[in-house]
Amino acid sequence: MAKLWGGRFDGKNEAWIDAFGASIAYDQALAKYDLQGSKAHVSMLKKTAILPADEADQILAGLTQLEEKLAAGELNFSVENEDIHLNMEVFLHELIGPVAGKLHTARSRNDQVATDMHLYLKDQVTQIIDLLHHLREVLVTKAEENVYTIMPGYTHLQHAQPISFGHHLLAYYQMFTRDAARLTESLKRIDVSPLGAAALAGTTFPIDRFYSAEQLGFTSVYENSLDAVSDRDFILEFLSNASLIMMHLSRFCEEIILWCSHEYQFVELTDTYSTGSSIMPQKKNPDMAELIRGKTGRVYGDLFSLLTILKGLPLAYNKDLQEDKEGMFDTVQTLSHSLAVFTGMVETMHVKVDTMKQSTEKDFSNATELADYLATKGVPFRQAHEIVGKLVLEGIQHGHYLQDIPLETYQTIHPAITADIYEKLDSTNAVKNRHSFGGTGFDQVLGQIERAKETFQ
Ligand code: ARG
């Protein structure tokens, strides 16, 4: 079949070259948005009397029929027609005849494709924000169940100080809250209409870009036609926000993977989120957590791919821009699925409260408590640190912990030490006593939960 843009060509097409240039295999994901964009455009042509009302109505009816066919899965896209825009125009022509050719008045595929992508991403980002909000709620519920669950807090992956497991979960809640805010903020820049920028320079037809933008639910319109057709910042911003979210998921997954190991045994995942081994009958592997950690790499790849595609592009449209789509689709899918799987995995995860607590009882993570205690008795903190460091070393050499040292021994170290030291050394108390704002003290964790819940109302 002749190309829609075939007028100035007399050479012949090669199917394999056409296939190389085609994007229909993947840009059909934009089909619904392409029809929406076309409807808004033709409504504008009607309103401005660029097209007579009866012709515009015929085109609108044809587009509505195409929407129905699309929903019913009756559209068979062809590589010959290159991309979603040309495929749709050919279908429209088949349905309503030559008047279909008037749809493209005052429009180019350049502003058309940009419009489709803005519509698509606005929809997807809104759904991803919902997924993030659900995850935030699950984390707060889980934190509320675990305010009083004591676990070792780590620095350098070494036991540092005991903390509330709820506090640990809420740290991630805070990250995902910032992620959701970043996505919401980015919507301002996604929710902009490029339609009417035409190929690059605008058009001589008396179009009304504000009208078509309004039809599509966009809150603003690109001010510069060159920018409108060549801007892909909004996709890059999405890919970078997605990379951040995946990085947060991946850090959390890494911890869950460690916690499931024999060495930790802090949590157990349900069977739904685990898999077995084909050779080792005892295995229960945290595959989903590993996969999310792995998929983080592909999302970073999508970000770097688009950054690289754009870095040397002169204004305005260049065919290179067709390469902006697969990474975006891939990231939307990877991120949405990862968020959904992760949320279910955390929601159903069994927390082994006793093991967590026990691992704060046979260690020296209460050393800061002893140093702080001495400091409150007037010993300069640096000196207190030195004294406790020596006690730790002795404990390691003789196989005992700080809470095993008898009071008489403590009193030879400093006469101000009294029997209440043992309470201070208890890991639950070590957590409870951290009342500083934002600390792991139970009152602080409860405060965080309360403030988090207020944001859900
Ligand atoms: N399939 C093309 C893309 O995704 C649509 C725009 C084509 N424009 C053009 N001047 N060749 O970028």
* Cα dist from 286 to 131, 263, 296, 341, 392, whole Å: 22, 15, 16, 12, 36
| Token couple for 120 | 């698509």
Domains of the chain, first to last: 14-105 (1.10.275.10), 110-353 (1.20.200.10), 367-456 (1.10.40.30)
- Asked if 81 and 2 count as a contact pair (C-beta separation under 8 A), the reply is no
Whether the pLDDT of residue 409 is over 70: the answer is: yes
Going from the Cα of 50 to the center of ligand 1, the distance in angstroms, rounded, reads 25
Report which protein residue has its CA nearest ligand 1's atom 2.
Answer: 322
Q: With a cut of 80, say whether residue 146 has pLDDT above it.
A: yes
Residue 62 has pLDDT above 90, yes or no: yes
Q: Is the pLDDT of residue 9 over 90?
A: no
With cut-offs at 50, 70 and 90, classify the pLDDT of residue 382. Answer: very high
CB under 6 Å to ligand 1: residues?
A: 23, 27, 83, 85, 109-110, 113, 317, 319, 321-322
Q: Please say whether the beta carbons of 51 and 105 come within 8 A.
A: yes
Q: Is the pLDDT of residue 154 over 90?
A: yes
Sign of CA dihedral 330, 24, 232, 186: negative
Best of 80, 113, 323, 325 for a ligand 1 pocket test (most atoms within 8 Å of beta carbon): 113
Residue nearest to atom 4 of ligand 1 (CA): 322
pLDDT tens column, 283-342: 889 999 999 999 999 999 999 999 999 999 999 999 999 999 999 999 999 999 999 999
How many degrees, rounded to 5, is the angle at CA 95 between CA 71 and CA 120?
40
pTM, full prediction: 0.96
From 156, 262, 350, 398, active-site residue: 156
Query: In terms of pLDDT, which residue wins out, 332 or 12?
Result: 332
Distance 157 CA to ligand 1 centre (A): 50
Q: Is the pLDDT of residue 1 over 70?
A: no
Mapped to the 3 state alphabet, what secondary structure does the chain carry? CCCCCHHHCCCCCCHHHHHHHCCHHHHHHHHHHHHHHHHHHHHHHHHCCCCCHHHHHHHHHHHHHHHHHHHCCCCCCCHHHCCHHHHHHHHHHHHHHHHHHHCCCCCCHHHHHHHHHHHHHHHHHHHHHHHHHHHHHHHHHHHHHCCCCEEEEEECCEEEEEEEHHHHHHHHHHHHHHHHHHHHHHHHHHCEECCCCCCCCCCCCCCCHHHHHHHCCCCEECCCHHHHHHCCHHHHHHHHHHHHHHHHHHHHHHHHHHHHCCCCCCEECCHHHCECCCCCCCCCECHHHHHHHHHHHHHHHHHHHHHHHHCCCCCCCCHHHHHHHHHHHHHHHHHHHHHHHHHHHHHHCEECHHHHHHCCCCCCCCHHHHHHHHHHCCCCHHHHHHHHHHHHHHHHHHCCCHHHCCHHHHHHHCCCCCCCHHHHHCHHHHHHCCCCCCCCCHHHHHHHHHHHHHHHC
CA of 113 from ligand 1 middle (Å) equals: 7
pLDDT at 4: 82
Smallest CA separation from ligand 1 atom 1, residue: 83
Q: Which residues contact 419 (CB under 8 A, 6 or more apart)?
A: 407
Specify the pLDDT at position 2. 75
- pLDDT confidence bin for 281, thresholds 50/70/90: confident
The pLDDT of residue 304: 98
Query: 76, 87 in Cβ contact below 8 A?
Result: no
Q: Of ligand 1's atoms, which has the minimum distance to the CA of residue 83?
A: 1
Q: CA-to-CA distance for 167 and 172, rounded, in angstroms? A: 9
Query: How high is the pLDDT of residue 406?
Result: 96
Lowest mean pLDDT among 42-46, 170-174, 278-282, 361-365: 278-282
Q: Is the dihedral of CA 298, 21, 106, 313 positive or negative?
A: positive
Asked about 277 being catalytic, the answer comes back as yes
Q: What type of residue sits at position 350?
A: H
78, 220, 261, 277: the active-site residue: 277
Output the CA 129–ligand 1 centroid distance in Å: 29
Q: pLDDT, tens digit, for every residue of 75-107?
A: 999 999 999 999 999 999 999 999 999 999 999
Angle at 292 between CA 25 and CA 270, to 5 degrees: 120
Percentage of residues of the chain with pLDDT beyond 90: 94
Residue nearest to atom 11 of ligand 1 (CA): 319
Q: What average pLDDT does the chain have?
A: 96
Distance CA 192, CA 455 (A): 28
Assigned token pair, 371: 């140093």
Residue 242 has pLDDT above 70, yes or no: yes
Whether 140 contacts 166, CB under 8 Å? no
- The alpha carbon of 173 and the centre of ligand 1 are apart by a number of angstroms equal to 41
Does the annotation count 156 as an active-site position? yes
Question: Is residue 364 over pLDDT 80?
Answer: yes
Residue 245 has a pLDDT of: 99
Distance CA 450, CA 17 (A): 61
Q: What percent of the chain has pLDDT over 70?
A: 100
